[in-house]
Structure 1
């Protein structure tokens, strides 16, 4: 088959293979399935391009949206939403169209994007992430003594827990992330955040992403951590809070909305390189 153009992109070291197929006319479901079957190989860090997932940019079903983003995880699964991914898609669209404000449709609904600053390589992008809801009470598990997990939906599911010992975040996430993510009480599976409040009042987190594993950053995870922290009274809601992840920090603004919060995320997106590959 002919070569396929792609762009390697990343947001806080959460990296993706971005493929723009807005002008392709074949059946979208078949096209997505084609990429899902090849995701593990393409995302392999030694035998492929290397990435946490694939971002497909396709024509939107929502007439108010500039494009639609389809996310495919490294294991071929399809999450509803990706915070770092949508910033990368917004940067790509801004470079292509010279527009700085537009909506991007996702499987979780359309999201308004504002490209605050941008050049060919790096952009700062703000995204209205929509409503975040807190689902039910706290979940505890016998294998995770002392930890209670709060379910937060930011268009995709998250389970957030807070720990007192910041240095233990990584080892705790490594030990418990997969097990919590696949608990029967989370029928769709869940992303899992192990978070803590830093002495300066900002937040820090390690994220186990459903379908990927530990990642350097998770945009929706940062939003979920901020929401869970606000609900617990750990951070104020009258100003933006920084959520620090291994790959860097995101700024999260919360506005009370009914039983939950409206969430706005701001952070970087970067185009790493462009290329072409042939995959049968």
Structure 2
């Protein structure tokens, strides 16, 4: 364990937050004492299940450098890699910062993907993602298993969307890594979403399972993935916004799309779970 790194942590409070089944460890780093390289180490240590706090991602809250932003973050996946954006992470952090009285309502969060608008509505948070880009519909993907019809869009981070007849039977753990590292999406790679379109009582909604880049496995939810899937389904004329998306964790996310300017809005419940102190054993 790096004793110098622990010295920076021992007097800091960490927060555990959750949004739709995605959980995160949050530290306030307004003094920027924790460097980006140290943050990568902390993410890989603190996010470990069983041996540490356990989380899908690690978030540092810092002072903004952009004029319109009220606060900035640095977001790290559980493997220590830094990501441009995380929709559910943004919602969870928005709820926490509001509860701590650190931001107005609404406010702007500075991310590597751009400014994110966040609005807190009780225990629900609505965020406006950066506008989708690089949309590619009806891509033919070849893997060692088969050929697949896929779709791609970047909703802050890259996402592939595949429609599946029975989502519970989707070979996520086998096919997910093959597409995540597919040469078409190199060198950055991509997240992979398996989607089932459900029609019940004249209502349509999507069920989703996501293989997340940086987590390197399935997560209970993915906000940018749900947004990408709803956007692709809308572009294919399969649904009309707002679109409900049922996550693996059993919660619904609501995705709205402003048709005039292509703005995507992500809304759902966000929770503050607990706060605490980090002991040296968490970093072993």
Same fold (TM over 0.5): yes
> Residue in 2 aligned with 1:177?
176
**Which residue number corresponds to residue 80 of structure 1?**
84
Answer whether contact 1:157 1:191 (CA < 8 A) is retained: yes
**2:121 corresponding residue in structure 1:** 116
Aligned equivalent of 1:266: 267
Alignment RMSD (CA, Å): 1.7
Does structure 2 retain, via aligned residues, the 8 Å contact 1:69–1:89?
Answer: no
Q: Whole-Å Cα distance in 2 between the matches of residues 58 and 8 of structure 1?
A: 17
Q: Which residue, out of 6, 14, 23, partners 1:6?
A: 14
Q: Displacement, 1:53?
A: 1.0
Q: Which runs of 5+ in 1 are unaligned?
A: 118-122
Structure 2 distance, partners of 1:42, 1:76, is: 10
> Which residue matches 2:155?
154
Q: Aligned partners of 2:69, 2:246: CA distance in 1, in Å?
A: 30
Equivalent position of 2:248 in the other structure: 246
Structure 1 residue 192 and structure 2 residue 200: aligned? no
Shift of residue 133, structure 1, vs aligned partner = 2.5
CA distance in 2, matches of 1:139, 1:244: 26
User: How far does residue 25 in structure 1 lie from its aligned partner after superposition?
Assistant: 4.4
| Partners of 2:140 and 2:147 within 8 A in 1 | no
The offset of 1:146, in angstroms, is: 5.5
| Aligned mate of 1:92, from 88, 93, 96 | 96
- Shift, 1:44, TM fit: 0.9
- Separation in 2 of the partners of 1:255 and 1:146? 33
Alpha carbons of 1:125 and 1:144: their partners in 2 closer, same or farther (altered >3 Å)? Answer: farther
* Contact 1:242-1:249 within 8 A present in 2 as well: yes
Alignment CA distance shift 1:143-1:228 (3 Å): farther
Aligned residues: 265
Task: Give the match for residue 259 of structure 2.
Answer: 256
Q: CA deviation at 1:192?
A: 0.5
Instruction: From the superposition, tell whether residues 52 and 25 of structure 1 become closer, same or farther in structure 2 (CA, over 3 Å).
Output: closer
Question: In the alignment, is residue 163 of structure 1 matched against residue 164 of structure 2?
Answer: yes
Match of 1:233 in 2: 237
- What is the distance in 2 between the residues matched to 1:255 and 1:202? 18
